[in-house]
A and B are shown apart, each in its own frame.
Chain A
Amino acid sequence: MNTGAPGKSRLLPGYVALYFLFLYLPILLLPVFSFNNAAATTFPLAGFTTKWYVSLRGNGEMLAAAVNSLIVGVCVSGLSTLLGICAARAITRYRFRGRRAANGLIMAPLFLPEIIVAVSLLMVVLAAGMELSLATIILGQTVFCLPYCMSVLTAGFEGFDRSLEEASLDLGETAFGTFRRVTLPVVAPAILSSLLVSFTISLDEFILAFFLSGTEPTLAVYIWGQLRFAAKLPSVLALGTIMLLISILLLTIAEVVRRRAERRYATGGYAHA
């Protein structure tokens, strides 16, 4: 394992542990205080309670926001994955002029302050006379999710041996049949992964939703509104914990699917010319 690189010193594992603590501590605090029997988020803890979770059940405003988030998430993940498939396939499969420029534009939101994307979209939407609604959030978040979908999908498509498609054609299958019987099943894990990742991003995304939402807030926008009221913090933490679990669950599924596919296909031992 040790390849003559600077050796693993004793300090490094300690540093890694510290780093992980830094990374995870703030996130683990949410569930801790969501079960704490006090409105203030202070130590020592005041005892176990589930009342903050119970209070969520009757919260119609929150439930409405959750439904909005679900609608937006499903639409965004579907739309951005579909657009991502087209672009990722074009970029990995074909050579054409402007390929790099096109890729650069699609990936640009990764390298832009989100507020500027949000503001510019807001101006266009309002200038076009559109009403702010869930639809405008969907349009905006799709722009934002595309780079992530593209990363997942291009990685999946690049591992795809082109001779598989040629083999299918050679064995008598049509172009469409080849896409259905070979391309789609082999890249399915990447597609699923892209759907899950973009849904997670949409669920948690705040800035675009904040700028582009009308009277129907998403969960993130709803939480933002609640943050002003200190008394509501624990129930927001409870909601946050549930969202956290959903996010982690979805991401884990995406990762497992992706890695199982990778294991299965990577050892396919494609010889290269």
Chain B
Amino acid sequence: MAITASHAPAELAPPEPPRPRWSASEEASGLALISPTLLYAVSLLALPILIVFAYSFWSQDYLTIDRALTLENYRTALFEPMYQDLLGRSLVISLVVSLVTVAISYPIAWFISFHGGRHKNLWLFLITVPCWTSYLLRVMSWKVILGYQGVLNTGLMSAGITDQPIASLLYNSNAVVITLVHSWAAFAILPIFVSLEKIDRSLIEAARDLGDTRLMSFVRVVLPLSLPGIISALLIVMIPTVGDYVTPKLVGGKDGVMIATAIQAQFGKGANWPLGAALSVTTMIVVSAMAGLTVLALKLVVRKIR
């Protein structure tokens, strides 16, 4: 063999310099680059929430904070009928809103993913536009629609369908639910759409090939595979809506007040920070538990039917 893999000449003895491991330097670069953002998020998100947590175990006497640990705030938050009421209603509303939003949004996400053709992006854009417009104005719009002298009533009356305004449209939980469902529609569609897009279309064909009807292939293949999207849609709607402030204030009336109003009150005139903190923490924990249970239930149902 003319030329072989051979040793280089002896004077080229390979150096063995102590080189830093690449993974270590990659790790360092990554951390260095993310550190400004992380620092920001820690100091203005994580830290504040920890402080809320701390406050919830303190108590307040007029303007002085007593740092002796107490569970009194939680006792009030959990057992005071008014707060029980508010928290209960907030949970029910957020549960209903998230379930309804996901249920009515799923077909849209499915439609865009399977029948959106070349214009999927345009469809998605059209879905998201209303979501980015002012939240206040959207809520106000619903007030205009549902009001006693509102669009729906005056419209129905001028169309001759009713001869008296329907008084029960506005200022109750239903109005809150409708408004919130409208506000969060796009947030539910996007994650579901993403998970539908990830489904390999040949899986559906395989299910059909193996004897499933269209409906069966949907229930046994598409639905289980889009479950991650459904779950994130539920979470992304359920958790934020529990603490919604504007919607109950504007369209909820007495009947639709939610916990956020009570939390806000503790930071407003009747300031009781520790109680407000305890209400916040309680809300977060309870809604997380409810979200967890909902996800669990959903997984069980899907496992059953597939």
Contact = CB atoms under 8 A, between A and B. Distances in A.
Q: Do chains A and B touch in the complex (CB under 8 A)?
A: yes
Interface of A: 1, 3-8, 12, 15-16, 19-20, 22-27, 29-30, 33, 40-44, 83-84, 86-87, 89-91, 93-99, 102, 105-106, 108-117, 119-124, 127, 139-140, 142-143, 146, 197, 200-201, 203-207, 211, 220, 223-224, 227, 233, 236, 240, 243-244, 247-248, 251, 255, 259
A205 B33 CA distance: 28
B291 to A, nearest CB: 9
B126 A20 contact: yes
Nearest to B206: A4
B26 A30 contact: no
A233 B47 CA distance: 40
Contacts of B114: 3, 5, 8
A22 B185 CA distance: 10
Given A26-B141, A93-B30, A116-B52, A42 B150 contact: yes
B132 A114 contact: no
Contacts of A30: 137, 141
Interface string B125-141: 11111101111111011
B136 A95 contact: no
A3 B205 contact: yes
B4 interface: no
Contact of B214 (A5, A19, A44, A203): A5
A89 to B, nearest CB: 6
Contact of B52 (A25, A119, A247): A119
Nearest to A113: B243
Contacts of B260: 113, 115
A116 B205 CA distance: 46
A120 B276 CA distance: 10
B150 A41 contact: yes
Prevailing SS type, chain B contact patch: helix
A43 B37 contact: no
Contact of B30 (A8, A90, A117): A90
A91 to B, nearest CB: 7
20 contacts: A3-B205, A8-B115, A16-B111, A19-B108, A29-B151, A43-B155, A44-B154, A94-B27, A106-B38, A106-B41, A110-B236, A112-B284, A113-B239, A113-B287, A114-B243, A121-B48, A143-B45, A197-B132, A204-B136, A255-B125
A16 to B, nearest CB: 6
A251 B132 contact: yes
Given A3-B114, A15-B108, 9 more contacts: A6-B215, A16-B107, A19-B185, A87-B34, A102-B34, A116-B283, A121-B44, A220-B136, A243-B133
Contacts of B283: 113, 116
A122 B49 CA distance: 11
A123 B55 contact: yes
Contact of B38 (A4, A102, A200, A204): A102
Interface in B1-57: 23, 26-31, 33-38, 40-42, 44-49, 51-52, 55
Interface size class of B (residues with CB under 8 A): 35 or more
A94 B273 CA distance: 42
B248 to A, nearest CB: 11
A215 B141 CA distance: 27
A150 B142 CA distance: 31
A117 B45 contact: yes
B37 A84 contact: yes
B87 to A, nearest CB: 12
B51 A120 contact: yes
B75 to A, nearest CB: 20
A204 B52 contact: no
B173 interface: no
B37 A83 contact: yes
Contact of A123 (B31, B51, B154, B201): B51
Given A27-B130, A114-B243, A123-B48, A211 B34 contact: no
B277 interface: yes
A112 B239 contact: yes
A211 B26 contact: no
B133 A123 contact: no
A113 B242 contact: yes
B117 interface: yes
A211 B129 CA distance: 26
Contacts of B47: 124
Contact of B36 (A27, A83, A96, A224): A83
B267 interface: yes
